[in-house]
């Protein structure tokens, strides 16, 4: 753990509200939230904007997501 404070504003939105509410374990919720924040920081986009883009462009968003994740490994 780096101790860096992540920007939680990126994961505040209607798009993920139900997703996070459905996760019972605080540990799991925190882990998923950190990973999502990292991803959204890399693509410079808040969650609702990314989800809107995904709905609008369909498979192009999946390709962008896969490419970003692959390049980070």
- Residue 38 three-state SS: helix
- For the chain, the domains span 8-72
* Angle at CA of residue 60, ends 21 and 45, nearest 5°: 50
Per-residue pLDDT of the chain (73 residues; tens, 9 = 90+): 444 556 778 888 888 888 888 889 999 999 999 999 999 999 888 988 988 888 888 765 566 655 665 665 5
What CA–CA distance (Å, rounded) separates 30 from 65?
21
What is the DSSP code (8-state) at residue 29? H
Which pTM was predicted?
A: 0.65
Query: pLDDT value at position 52?
Result: 87
- Token couple for 41: 């920081």
Query: pLDDT value at position 35?
Result: 92
Query: pLDDT value at position 28?
Result: 93
Query: pLDDT value at position 1?
Result: 42
């Amino acid at each position: 753990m780096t101790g860096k404070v992540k920007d939680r504003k990126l994961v505040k939105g209607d798009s993920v509200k139900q997703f996070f509410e459905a996760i019972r374990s605080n540990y799991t919720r925190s882990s998923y939230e950190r990973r999502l924040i990292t991803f959204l920081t890399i693509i410079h986009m808040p969650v609702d904007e990314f989800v809107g883009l995904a709905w609008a462009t369909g498979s192009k968003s999946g390709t962008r997501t896969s490419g970003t994740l692959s390049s980070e490994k």
